Every structure is written in structure tokens, then in C-alpha cells.
Structure 1
Amino acid sequence: KVITINPAKPPPEFKAIGLKHVPAILHEEEGYDAVDDIMQYIDKKFPGGGLEYSSPEADLATKDFFSKFCFYIKAVNQDPTKLDQALKNLNGFLESALYSNGIANGMTDHQNENEIPDNPYEFLVSSQLTHLDCEVLPKLQHLRVAAKELKDYDIPMHLRGFWRYLHAGYTNPVFVQTCPCDQEIILHWHDRPETPKLSHKKHSVIAKRSQSFHIMFQSMLLL
């Protein structure tokens, strides 16, 4: 069972079991709210789930984009150059076909886009979700929704690998069922102290409208 909460105002039952951060897991009276602890517990409690992975290259390709987003989303920063580069690096990894047992051996930033073969995997290092995807996909969704609403930033449409990867997430029931709605993402980032602020009217409209999910694609991305 997945329960969404407001981290700024967690319900009493959340705090009563000693949890302070999200995401968190509660299972058989054991609770964890650190990502590494959650992953270790799942691997130990449910062995053979297929979430394990080993890919230093994937770790490297995904390590910068969220920190660049967190810096860019601040109200004082109007330059998306570093975020663009981090997304370009991730896209290069996703478009690379130089895989061996789920490990990429090179980036493709300087190749002609028309000559880049497709990643043979749906996800980062496998045809199924791994721990890394469970961490990266939600962050990409936060980036896509919040950056558009608060900074009018659009992820470049020519990043084919990126969009195909995000589409794989949108068509996976695990991600769809656990993905927060647009409103939760927007208001979460809006309420942070250094981010751009919506007008009172727009904030009220977003808070009151029915839940929606930003999963639109251009047809070219699905080819």
C-alpha cells in the first residue's frame, strides 16, 4: 500500500513510528526512511526481486542531473546550461548501445544523432526496473513538472534516449501507481524557501484542481 504525505506536515502516525523523511517504508513493524536502508531491507526481505544492479557507468551518468536541477530551480538562477549538460550526459548514456551485461562502455555526446543506435534496454541497465530506476525516474518527473511550472523550462525534445526512458516509466504500472500527481510536485517545490513563487490565484487554482499527471509525448518519441 502506497500512502502520500506532505513532508512539511507529516501525520502523527508517521512521526509516531520514528520516520522523518520520504520516501519511507514500514513493513512488519520495521520502518526505514533512508534510501540505502530501504534498498538493503527490500533486498534482504525479498531476495530474488531483480532490483539489484552493478553499473558504475550508470551511476556516473545519473549522479549530476538532480543537483543541477535543485540549483536551477532557485529563483535567483536563470541559466539552465549546467542542467542541460547533465541531461545531455544522461541522454548519451541512454542512447549508447555499447552495453555488456547492463554496463555501458561509452558515451555518445559527440556522435551524429542519426548514427546513434538505440539502447537495447527499456530502463537504465536492464529490461526491468532496478534500484537505480526507482531513484532516478521520480527525480526526472519532479524535474520535468516543477521546472516547467516554476521556471518555464522544457526538457529538449531532441534527447531521444531521455524521452524513451521516461516513456518506459510512464508505461510501467509500478511507477504509475507510485508517482505523485503534478499538483503535489509543484506545490512541494513552490513551498521551498528559495524557489520562484506562483501568484496567490494560480497557487489556489493548482491546489484545488483535480489530480493530473504530466505524461504527454510527441508521437516522434514513441517511434
Structure 2
Amino acid sequence: RKPADLQNLAPGTHPPFITYNGEVRTDVNKIEEFLEDVLAPPKYLKLSPKHPESNTAGMDIFAKFSAFIKNSRPEANEALERGLLKTLQKLDEYLNSPLPDEIDENSLEDVPVSTRKFLDGNEMTLADCNLLPKLHIVKVVAKKYRNFEIPKEMTGIWRYLTNAYSRDEFTNTCPGDKEIEIAYSDVAKRLTK
């Protein structure tokens, strides 16, 4: 049960939430954006993406993955896998498309493929903190319970994951593969006839 103090602060909501000037925010991403915009001291690096589309890149992957991994009907498996692949392909295309600041307007050469490390550039942002743990879970759980791997041709996604795995802030906060597999052992449904 929620303590009375919390009940009085934000009736009908569950943690995490934030109240500021009488307004309650309950969505984790909105809380992060608020903290970044309103309360971050000017000398600190901004964690919000510069490009708004970075916030929504890959946002439907986890829903497609959940439908795929929870399915127990063999006849639905192929369509659900295609749905997951389609959303992964969309993310891969975003990661491989150069952002405006990767393109030199004065150069005659085209930038055919982005080389950035993360969604919004070469530094992690809040968008990465939201997507990367989910993408890692997709990679681990889909392999274990569906023998599904993110295709190697999706070079943008693999570059993205490789760069994440090289960062202490990701690897030190990410649960181990076995821990993820155990957590999903009751969620992942066996395909039954």
C-alpha cells in the first residue's frame, strides 16, 4: 500500500511520479524531460536529444517483441516475427540515415550511411536510456526462446548495440543475459499445436 503522504501528494497515481507547482507527472519519459528542461543546472550536459525523431525511433519494438514472445500459437508466429522484423528494420533505417549535423552542405560528396554511435549522435541521450535496455532484452530473449536473432544485415542496430556494450554506464546497469532469460522464463510462451 502506498503511504498516506504519497496518497495525499498524488491521489490515484503510483510511483514514480513528480509534483511541481501543483502539477503531477507520472510518465517516466515526461519526468526525465521535465527534470532536464526545468531543473538541470546550465553547466551540466543536456541529455535530451537534439532531433525530436530520436525520441520516437524504435518506440514500437518492445510491443511487437512482447506479442511475438508471448504467442503460443504456431500459426501466428510467422506474422508476429514479420511484425517484429519490420519495426527493427525501421530502427535500422533510422540509425543508418545521416542526421542533419552529419551532412556537410558545402561538400559535393553524399553521406550515404550514418556512422553515429547512438540515436541522436555520438553521445548517449535519454532516448538511448529508454530504448537500449529494451533492445538488449529483445536480443537476449528472442534468441533464447524463439531462436530469433536480429539479422546481421541490420548494421545500424548492430553498430548501436556494439557502441552501447562499450559504455560502462550501459554495461554496469544492464542485467546479465542469464538474469534476463530467467525473468522471461514464465513470460515466453512455448509454441504449442
TM-score by length of 2: 0.70
Count how many residue pairs are aligned between Structure 1 and Structure 2: 163
Partner of 1:129: 124
Partner of 1:221: none
Establish whether residue 156 from structure 1 lines up as the match of residue 155 from structure 2: no
Offset, 1:60: 4.2
Q: Which amino acid aligns with 1:64?
A: D
Q: State which drifts further: 140-149 or 180-189.
A: 180-189
Q: Which amino acid aligns with 1:155?
A: I
SS in 1 for 2:144: helix
Measure the CA separation in 2 of the matches of 1:190 and 1:119.
Answer: 37
Q: Which amino acid aligns with 1:75?
A: N
Partner of 1:218: none
RMSD: 3.1
Q: Select the structure of larger CA radius of gyration.
A: 2
Q: Deviations over 1:34-74 (max 9, x none)?
A: 34324433554543332111434334432221111111111
Aligned in 2, Cα 1:81/1:54: closer, same or farther, shift over 3 Å?
same
Measure the CA separation in 2 of the matches of 1:78 and 1:35.
Answer: 31
Aligned in 2, Cα 1:42/1:178: closer, same or farther, shift over 3 Å?
farther
Contact 1:146–1:185 under 8 Å retained in 2: yes
Aligned in 2, Cα 1:143/1:116: closer, same or farther, shift over 3 Å?
farther
Establish whether residue 85 from structure 1 lines up as the match of residue 80 from structure 2: no
Select which of 157, 160, 168 maps to 1:173. Answer: 168
Partner of 1:67: 63
Q: Deviations over 1:161-218 (max 9, x none)?
A: 11001101000111111111112211222233xx225xxxxxxxxxxxxxxxxxxxxx
Aligned in 2, Cα 1:166/1:190: closer, same or farther, shift over 3 Å?
same
Contact 2:32–2:126 under 8 Å retained in 1: no
1:14-93 equivalences in 2 (<5 Å): 34-41=28-35, 44-47=38-41, 48-76=44-72, 77-79=76-78, 80-93=81-94
Name which structure has the greater RCO, CA cutoff 8 Å, separation 6+: 2
Partner of 2:114: 119
Q: Which amino acid aligns with 1:78?
A: N
Measure the CA separation in 2 of the matches of 1:67 and 1:81.
Answer: 13
SS in 2 for 1:62: coil
Unmatched segments (≥5 aa) in structure 2: 7-12, 18-25, 104-109
TM-score by length of 1: 0.62
Contact 1:95–1:116 under 8 Å retained in 2: no
SS in 1 for 2:184: helix
Contact 2:59–2:131 under 8 Å retained in 1: no
Offset, 1:118: 3.0
Once the two structures are aligned, what percentage of the paired residues are identical? 30
Q: Which amino acid aligns with 1:162?
A: I
Q: Which amino acid aligns with 1:129?
A: M
Offset, 1:124: 0.7
